[in-house]
Amino acid sequence: MSFKHISAFLLVFLTSMLSWGQDSGLETISGVVINASNDKPLENVNIVNINTVKGSTTNKDGEFQVKANINDTLYLSYLGFRSIQVKITEDWVKFGDVKVKMTESAIALEEVKLQEIQLTGYLEIDAKNIPIYDNYRYSISGLDYAYEGGNYQRSAISKVLQSISNPADLLYKTFSKKDQQMRRLRKMKMNESIKEILQDKYDRETLSAVLQISKDDIDEVLDRCNYSRDFVTTANDLQVLDAISSCYEEYRAINR
């Protein structure tokens, strides 16, 4: 066996041992999620351990299992229900299954008006009325093609450089003061269950809970990192995770 193959084997072995060591001290927490109005089990509820960045979902009987420590916080989300956070207690670990009740949320749909582009037949006039998008393209998880970013500039890192030199800048406040939370981005990207949860979400709530920053700050970070409004308004949470992660890694590289 060559030195190259031995090195690769040792790397895989050490990575596996490290992953096992991180999980071996955790308890397996069991629970059941039910509808608060009728006590019926809820299937496919998304559950994320905010502390360990581990994910799980409920089965058809509302049952779930997730690795956690005492005092860890579980974030539960389900379409049409209010998202909740539940703390792991000693009694939960000691006595086993706990019933977690989720409450339905009333959703009011706003009327959406679509504005048509009125063409006059005169090229000079119509060309001015049709919106033109001049966006840079980024590679984002979950898409087999590049996604639109903000208006491309020669100095695409100018906003990151500005934030490092300006302590009042939003990126500086978010990335430097929330460094521990931002480091979770890597864990989230490596966890398949988390990725499956995020790719079907568009509300930023799970990301906000795990990163411990507001949904408004997430949108503002995307804007400061030069992503277009098209991306901010249409991307799912997995794509947003990738976008923030890329911006954060760029920030750290320049900050060094």
- The pair of structure tokens assigned to 139 is 């590679």
Q: How buried is residue 221: exposed, middle or buried, by Cβ count under 10 Å (0-12/13-18/19+)?
A: buried
Task: Give the confidence band of 158 by pLDDT, cuts at 50, 70, 90.
Answer: low
Q: Please give the Cα distance from 71 to 85 (Å, whole number).
A: 12
Q: Please give the Cα distance from 87 to 189 (Å, whole number).
A: 24
Topology of domain 3-102, CATH: Immunoglobulin-like (2.60.40)
- The pair of structure tokens assigned to 239 is 């794509």
**What does the pLDDT look like over 32-60, one tens digit per residue?**
999 999 999 999 999 999 888 888 999 99
Task: Give the confidence band of 250 by pLDDT, cuts at 50, 70, 90.
Answer: confident
Residue 54: closest CA among 32, 78, 34, 27: 27
The CB density around residue 53, as the number of other CB atoms within 10 Å, is: 18
- The DSSP code sequence of 190-238 is H-HHHHHHHTT--SSHHHHHHHTS-HHHHHHHHHHTT--HHHHHH--HH
Domain ranges across the chain? 3-102, 123-255
Average pLDDT score over the chain = 76
Residue 187: the pLDDT is 75
Ranked by mean pLDDT, the top range of 70-84, 157-171, 172-186 is 70-84
pTM of the model: 0.62
Q: How buried is residue 47: exposed, middle or buried, by Cβ count under 10 Å (0-12/13-18/19+)?
A: buried
Lowest mean pLDDT among 42-46, 84-88, 183-187, 197-201: 183-187
